Amino acid sequence: MKVAVLDSKGKETGRKVELSDAVFGIEPNNHAVYLDVKQYLAHQRQGTHKSKERAEISGSTRKIKKQKGTGTARAGSIKSPVFRGGGRIFGPRPKDYHQKLNKNLKRLARKSALSIKNKEQAILVVEDFNFESPKTKEFIQVLKSLGLENKKSLFVLGDSNNNVYLSSRNLKRSEVVINSRNLKASNVVSNSELSTYKILNNNNIVLFEGALAGIESNLTK
């Protein structure tokens, strides 16, 4: 499938690129998408939740009243869960929410997500551009030119493009990721985090022309 390449002003450059049917034109596998999104959301959880149970509460273990003859329920310790300040019954404990998925299934899920967006005609291909310095105003102008000002959009860059990334950080509806494996910078997202969730969680996907080759090579192994 051929798609017109736009410039940063939203106008056609006269060139077209071929989107691989093996990546952007497959029959979506909904179950693979579900598993990959479930894994992504599970991995966002820290798993550090913890509450104290009765054995972990600091306090006296003295029996607070006699066993019989009071007319009320028996009580052994102030740390009992029925009292204010007592331990919690079966409270949350630290847990690892990590889920394992095979690489081939994750690739299938991402190809399915890209194919869904392609069928919705929600993928734009833009020629590579850069800013002289980080300017949010210039990035907003690019969004207006592409008709994405009020839409959630995901920009996938081909190479490290720090000025474009920094220009987009203040905007809630736009996110920029870098399609490269070898990036060590802490303020960009590597290709391994171009997740199924992020693809589906945005209304439009804007692919830089230089990112296409990397995406197709990574997903057709």
Both tokens assigned to 156: 């996938």
User: pTM of the entire structure?
Assistant: 0.81
Asked if 131 and 36 sit in the same domain, the reply is yes
Asked if 153 and 56 sit in the same domain, the reply is no
Asked if 65 and 155 sit in the same domain, the reply is no
Mean pLDDT, the chain, whole residue set: 86
Work out the pLDDT band at 161, boundaries 50, 70, 90.
Answer: confident
Count of structural domains within the chain: 2
Asked if 51 and 19 sit in the same domain, the reply is no
Could you tell me if 54 and 81 are in contact, meaning their C-beta atoms sit under 8 angstroms apart?
A: yes
Asked if 117 and 84 sit in the same domain, the reply is no
Is 181's pLDDT higher than 50?
no
Asked if 148 and 165 sit in the same domain, the reply is yes
Residue 141 DSSP code: H
pLDDT digits (tens, 9 = 90+) for 17-58: 999 999 999 999 999 999 999 999 999 999 999 999 999 999
pLDDT at 215: 87
Asked if 155 and 191 sit in the same domain, the reply is yes
Asked if 128 and 183 sit in the same domain, the reply is yes
Tell me the three state secondary structure of residue 15: strand
Residue 69 DSSP code: S
- Give the pLDDT mean for 163-176: 79
Asked if 119 and 208 sit in the same domain, the reply is yes
Q: Which domain holds residue 139?
A: 2-45+99-219
pLDDT digits (tens, 9 = 90+) for 95-118: 999 999 999 999 999 999 999 999
Residue 143 DSSP code: H
CATH of the domain at 145: 3.40.1370.10
Tell me the three state secondary structure of residue 210: helix
